[in-house]
Structure 1
Amino acid sequence: MNDNRLLDAVDALTKPTVDHVKQTADDGTYIRTVPVEHPALLQQLADAVVPSAGHDGGSKSASARERNVIDSDALWELTKIQAELRDWMRYNLAAFDRKDLPGSLRRWYVHANVSHPDTNPDWIEWVVRELRRWERIILNKLDRTVKQLETGHLCPLCKTAEWIDQDGARQPARLILSYRKDEDGRTSEERVVCQRCRTGWDSVAAIEELGEELTEYERMSA
Structure 2
Amino acid sequence: MTDLSDAVNALTKPSRTKVIRDDNTTVTVHHDPLLAQLEQAVTSAIGNGGGGGSATGSVLNDEALYRLTVIRTQLGDWCRLVNVKHDRQDAVQSLRRWHVAFLGGTGEADFYVKALRGWAYTIVELLDPPKTVPLAGACPVCKAVNWVGPDDTLRASPVAVMYDHANPYRSVRAMCRVETCDAEWVGADSVEELVEEMSEADHG
- Give TM-score scaled by structure 2 length: 0.56
1:65-116 superposed Cα distances (whole Å, 9 cap, x missing partner): 33652622211111011000000011566621112111110111012223x1
Q: 1:133 aligns with which of 118, 121, 135?
A: 118
Structure 2 spans left out of the alignment, 5+ residues? 46-51, 137-146, 156-204
The answer (yes or no) to whether the contact 2:21–2:27 under 8 Å persists in 1 is yes
The alignment partner of 1:77 has SS state of helix
CA distance in 2: counterparts of 1:14 and 1:50, whole angstroms:
18
Shift in alpha-carbon separation, 1:72–1:190, aligned structure 2, 3 A:
farther
Shift in alpha-carbon separation, 1:189–1:33, aligned structure 2, 3 A:
farther
Q: Trace 1:147-166 onto structure 2 (pairs within 5 A).
A: none
**Could you tell me which amino acid in structure 2 is paired with residue 79 of structure 1?**
T
Shift in alpha-carbon separation, 1:107–1:182, aligned structure 2, 3 A:
same
The alignment partner of 2:54 has SS state of helix
Match of 2:73 in 1: 83
Match of 2:42 in 1: 49
Match of 1:13 in 2: 11
CA distance in 2: counterparts of 1:92 and 1:182, whole angstroms:
43
Shift in alpha-carbon separation, 1:47–1:183, aligned structure 2, 3 A:
farther
CA distance in 2: counterparts of 1:138 and 1:189, whole angstroms:
24
1:189-211 superposed Cα distances (whole Å, 9 cap, x missing partner): 743xxxxxxxxxx42149xxxxx
Q: Does 1:143 align with 2:128?
A: yes
Q: Does 1:34 align with 2:27?
A: yes
CA distance in 1: counterparts of 2:99 and 2:38, whole angstroms:
20
The alignment partner of 1:203 has SS state of coil
CA distance in 2: counterparts of 1:99 and 1:189, whole angstroms:
38
CA distance in 2: counterparts of 1:94 and 1:131, whole angstroms:
18
Match of 1:199 in 2: none
Q: Does 1:73 align with 2:22?
A: no
CA distance in 1: counterparts of 2:10 and 2:148, whole angstroms:
27
Match of 2:184 in 1: none
**Could you tell me which amino acid in structure 1 is paired with residue 3 of structure 2?**
R
The alignment partner of 1:105 has SS state of helix
Structure 1 spans left out of the alignment, 5+ residues? 53-62, 146-180, 192-201, 207-222
The answer (yes or no) to whether the contact 1:86–1:93 under 8 Å persists in 2 is no
Shift in alpha-carbon separation, 1:205–1:13, aligned structure 2, 3 A:
same
CA distance in 1: counterparts of 2:44 and 2:152, whole angstroms:
25
Number of aligned residue pairs: 137
Identity %: 34
Shift in alpha-carbon separation, 1:40–1:125, aligned structure 2, 3 A:
same
Q: Does 1:97 align with 2:82?
A: no
Match of 1:64 in 2: 53
**Could you tell me which amino acid in structure 2 is paired with residue 136 of structure 1?**
Y
**Could you tell me which amino acid in structure 1 is paired with residue 92 of structure 2?**
P
Structure 1 stretches (4+) deviating beyond 4 angstroms? 91-94, 181-184
